[in-house]
Amino acid sequence: MTETLTLRRPDDWHLHLRDGAMLAGVLPETARHFARAIIMPNLVPPVVTGAQAAGYRDRILAALPEGMTFEPLMTLYLTEETDPADVAAAAESKLVKAVKLYPAGATTNSASGVQDFDKVQGVLDQMAEIGLPLCVHGEVTDPAVDIFDREAVFIERVLDPVRRATPGLRVVMEHITTADGIDYVKSQDDMGGTITAHHLVINRNHILVGGIHPHYYCLPVAKREEHRQALVAAATSGDPHFFLGTDSAPHTDANKQSACGCAGCFTATNTMSVLAEVFEREDALDRLEGFTSLHGPAFYRLPANEDRITLEKGEPVSYPSHIAIGEGPVTVFDPGFPLHWRVVEA
Query: What's the CA gap between 246 and 296, in Å, rounded?
Result: 12
- Which among 12, 86, 180, 247 is annotated as catalytic? 247
Sequence-distant (6+) residues with CB within 8 A of 59 are: 19, 23
Q: Over the range 234-247, which residues count as b (16 or more CB within 10 Å of their CB) and which as e?
A: bbbbebebbbbbbb
CB contact at 8 A, 60 and 27: yes
Residue 125: C-alpha distances to residues 76, 156, 187, 218 (Å): 16, 20, 22, 31
CB contact at 8 A, 103 and 158: yes
Residue 189 annotated in active site = no
The pairing of beta strand 308-313 with beta strand 4-8: antiparallel
Sequence-distant (6+) residues with CB within 8 A of 304 are: 8, 293, 294, 297, 298
How buried is 169 (Cβ within 10 angstroms: 0-12 exposed, 13-18 middle, 19+ buried)? buried
Active site residues: 247
